[in-house]
Amino acid sequence: GHSPMAVVQKVRRKANQSKPPPTPKTLNPSSGHSPMAAVRVILPHPHLPIPSWRPQLKPSSSYPRRAVAAPASLSPSPLTASLQLGDVIEAQQFDRQVLNEIFEVAREMEAVERGSHGFRSRVLEGYLMATLFYEPSTRTRLSFEAAMRRLGGEVLTTENAREFSSAAKGETLEDTIRTVEGYSDIIVLRHFESGAARRAAATAEIPVINAGDGPGQHPTQALLDVYTIKREIGRLDGIKLGLVGDLANGRTVRSLAYLIAKYQNIKIYFVSPDVVKMKDDIKEYLTSQGVEWEESSDLLDVASRCDVIYQTRIQKERFGERIDHYEAARGKYIVDKKVLGVLPKHAVIMHPLPRLDEITVDVDSDPRAAYFRQAKNGLYIRMALLKLLLVGH
């Protein structure tokens, strides 16, 4: 564990490494407080002022190097804190304390966003975010770009970095990151390879946010899901959660299970066709965390007991030739008026979107249909992360 204050210091420290504050001091390379000072000894041309980009040239193959590079006075908290808010790489990196801090800031962001129409926030004025997307995900990209702009920041966009001429020519992700970090203050990376975000974060001196790396992680989705439960139900301990649909392949339900397990008295019901059941690794993890879970084939019964029904899309692409299996699976558990009929008044229905017909359209008008509010919460969570990573609490 560590104190929120420590987190803030980490945030500030990392921000400072690549971005001295815009005070006269920053133009004075010999300032003892400048992170530049720490690396001055390796500069070959003492007659030149310290170039701001020099730090990125020190070997940067692991997180610890960063702590080393930081002025000691600025890193009083354990290294893990740097992992926790120096970059956003995977859902597991967050503990309850950090989650609460993020959710508090997200809550503040609701008011900031409401107030921003016709009034430009200056919270992130002068900061530049690069959205480096190696595969298209317009929903996620627009959500991050809206978040940056609602806070007064600017954006550099690349929608298909896979055809990034350099990548096409065989440039490594690390080299691309070293170039792009020279143009921006924070990188939001979407990649088709699992682990790409971690590699990028290990290379970059500026914060990196994982916007999904292949079958790997999509931590901001997991955060907005948990935030939505807290926002809609009013608490996170003692939640009864029904996970419905494709539990075998759904990246989001797996991440959600990891995060919700950090809370007390959680009960999870798995409702899915046999071909796409939740895998044992998650079941074992939940058991090891003392989370009660059971499988059920009765959606109505589960809906009548839950605070949250989390529906997911059956992903056709996972079934290959067996269209018959797909058709059988997708029709099996539909959230419709019948489900609303048994769902408690205070409960809500969630879905990561896009949805096809696993939730019928006539459900949309029910106040308990929370999936579009959930999408909007993605904006608040991303605003909160950008603020925390760039300027701290």
Tell me the closest approach of the beta carbon of residue 4 to its own copies, in angstroms.
21
Is 161 exposed, middle or buried, given 0-12, 13-18 or 19+ CB atoms closer than 10 A? buried
**Does 375 interact with its own copies (rule: CB under 8 A)?**
yes
Tell me the closest approach of the beta carbon of residue 99 to its own copies, in angstroms.
19
**Does 235 interact with its own copies (rule: CB under 8 A)?**
no
Binding map of its own copies across residues 329-368, x = CB under 8 A, - = no contact: ----------------xx-x----xxxx-------xx-xx
In this chain, which of 73, 95, 139, 298 binds its own copies, going by CB under 8 A? 139
**Does 56 interact with its own copies (rule: CB under 8 A)?**
yes
Q: C-alpha dihedral over 23, 28, 29, 33, to 10 degrees?
A: -50
Is residue 180 within 8 A of residue 224, CB to CB? The reply is: no
* Catalytic site includes residue 218: yes
**Does 379 interact with its own copies (rule: CB under 8 A)?**
yes
Residue in 268, 271, 269, 245 with CA at minimum distance from that of residue 351: 245
Task: State which of positions 156-185 bind its own copies (CB under 8 A).
Answer: 156-159, 161, 163-167, 169-171, 175-176, 178-180, 182-185
Characterize the bridge pairing of strands 154-158 and 348-350: unpaired
Single out the segment in contact with its own copies by CB under 8 A; choices: 71-79, 85-93, 155-163, 243-251: 155-163
Q: Which is nearer to its own copies, 32 or 115 (CB)?
A: 115
In this chain, which of 128, 328, 334, 342 binds its own copies, going by CB under 8 A? 128
Q: Which of 131, 140, 176, 252 is catalytic?
A: 140
Sign of CA dihedral 390, 73, 104, 363: positive
Tell me the closest approach of the beta carbon of residue 107 to its own copies, in angstroms.
9
* Catalytic site includes residue 120: no
* Catalytic site includes residue 140: yes
Tell me the closest approach of the beta carbon of residue 57 to its own copies, in angstroms.
6
* Catalytic site includes residue 2: no
Residue numbers annotated as active site: 139-140, 169, 190, 218
